[in-house]
Chains A and B, each alone.
Chain A
């Protein structure tokens, strides 16, 4: 009953068995690294495909507005690895001011680039083109970084480098896929999941008689507000100006409103989309304390500073979404969450403010496809 027992071939099996053990104990790790590299390669090809296709979408969107395909492609490729150098944090004093300034300069540069590359498009479409450009840049960046570590890992044979990138691969692919699926939304001006904040603001303001005409423009860059009366309270409902795709500078909008009407304002309410945990339902509404805004820092700081200076409460109402839903075309479930958010805002206003007081209601998010 034993494999090859008691015959002249049994030594072959013995040798084969020992060879097998030896090879795997000596070269097992090498074999595994080779496997890792193969898997990274597959993912890398996928990333490249997504980047190339989104670049093509960007070119096709841009060329509708005046310039030829060749010119657009050339300029776009040149701009593809545009970078921003973060301010030095060894001397933290005033770092937020410097960061804010850098972000402003970056924004100016993007707007200038888009205006040059799409001379025949309007302001609203320019913003959408800016977003399209940014998505393509993100995809290009992910692809280039992963390719860098793949090649470096292959060159040096460094196991830790290869393992690191292999472990992060599923997450990076998920992120890339989310952005890749979003490019259609940005190039065509469809609303995205992140736009729930501004949408809530306008729907809320309209319930109390606001119109596109009553919207006050430019309290800060690309941000404005409606002034509505809600049960004896004055609500300054603030959002970025749509329906072009922009997040504006709502943090500074809040700050400027505080400076304008500060002594009467008794509460700040922020509405935003927040990243959901796996297992949580899409479109779930949650409440908390603090400024709900996902900027690199200056905006959030401006809000917190304003609230602290005047000693007033600042709270957040968020709609839970995953990355794909936040950057992709708005899901029905997110739209369905809007009435609940509005109900919660009303509850906050009734419970925690008194008639005669003023409230700032700030909707944070990208306004693409969301009208005033």
Chain B
């Protein structure tokens, strides 16, 4: 979709430019009409060229719950469940060493902003 509309935009812009040029060199009474038509076609073409992609609403990143074992280095990350909170002791025992586990964090990972400012 993006590529095609850009191509059409280039075609329109070029056609408009030729029309405008033709109209300016024409000495008949229709020169004004040609020029105007050329300008309109050209601006239409440029509008197509510079049009950005329609903004799509991205779904927010999922909230995850990070669980860690109290003793060893076992770590589990799963989807957030209602009732989870940070520092809540988890009912399940650690699969590695069978001691208790705690929710160490409930968080989301936001996307890095695309624009960077070189200042």
Contacts and interface: CB of A to CB of B under 8 A. Distances in A.
Contacts of B60: 181, 184
Contact of A279 (B28, B32, B35, B117): B117
A199 B104 CA distance: 10
B96 interface: no
Interface string A341-372: 00000000000000000000000000001111
A243 B86 contact: yes
A323 interface: no
Given A4-B32, A12-B32, A190-B80, A371 B25 contact: no
Given A181-B60, A190-B80, A331-B108, A1 B85 contact: no
A281 B18 CA distance: 51
B63 A329 contact: yes
Interface in B70-86: 80, 82-86
A331 B107 contact: yes
Contacts of B32: 3-4, 9, 12-13
A199 B108 contact: no
Contacts of B28: 7
Contacts of A279: 117, 119
A154 B119 CA distance: 41
Interface in B17-37: 23-25, 27-29, 31-32, 35
A3 B35 contact: yes
B86 A369 contact: yes
Nearest to B65: A190
Given A4-B31, A329-B108, A188 B82 contact: yes
Contacts of A248: none
A242 interface: yes
Interface string A191-223: 100010001001100100000000000000000
Nearest to B61: A329
B110 A331 contact: yes
A142 B88 CA distance: 36
Interface in A255-280: 279
B63 A190 contact: yes
Nearest to B35: A3
B105 interface: yes
Of the listed residues A5, A7, A242, the one surrounded by the most CB atoms of chain B closer than 10 A to its CB is A7
Contacts of B84: 190, 369
A1 B31 CA distance: 10
A213 to B, nearest CB: 12
A369 B106 contact: yes
A191 B80 CA distance: 11
B109 interface: yes
Interface string B77-119: 0001011111110000000000000010111111000000101
Could you tell me the dominant secondary structure of chain A's interface residues? loop
A22 interface: no
B85 A330 contact: no
A191 B29 contact: no
A332 B108 CA distance: 6
B107 to A, nearest CB: 5
Most A Cβ at <10 Å: residue of B23, B31, B87: B87
Contacts of B29: 4, 7-9
Contacts of A7: 27-29, 31
Contacts of B110: 325, 331-332
Interface in A280-302: none
Contacts of B25: 1
A199 B107 CA distance: 13
Contact of A199 (B31, B82, B83, B86): B86
Given A1-B24, A7-B27, A189-B82, A330 B108 contact: yes
A159 B23 CA distance: 42
Interface string B1-43: 0000000000000000000000111011101100100000000
Interface of B: 23-25, 27-29, 31-32, 35, 60, 63, 80, 82-88, 103, 105-110, 117, 119
Given A4-B31, A7-B29, A335-B107, 5 more contacts: A7-B27, A199-B86, A369-B86, A371-B86, A371-B87
Interface of A: 1-9, 12-13, 181, 184, 188-191, 195, 199, 202-203, 206, 242-243, 279, 325, 328-332, 334-335, 369-372
7 contacts: A1-B25, A8-B29, A9-B29, A190-B84, A331-B108, A332-B108, A335-B107
Q: Give 3 closest A-B pairs by Cβ, nearest first.
A: A243-B85, A371-B87, A4-B32
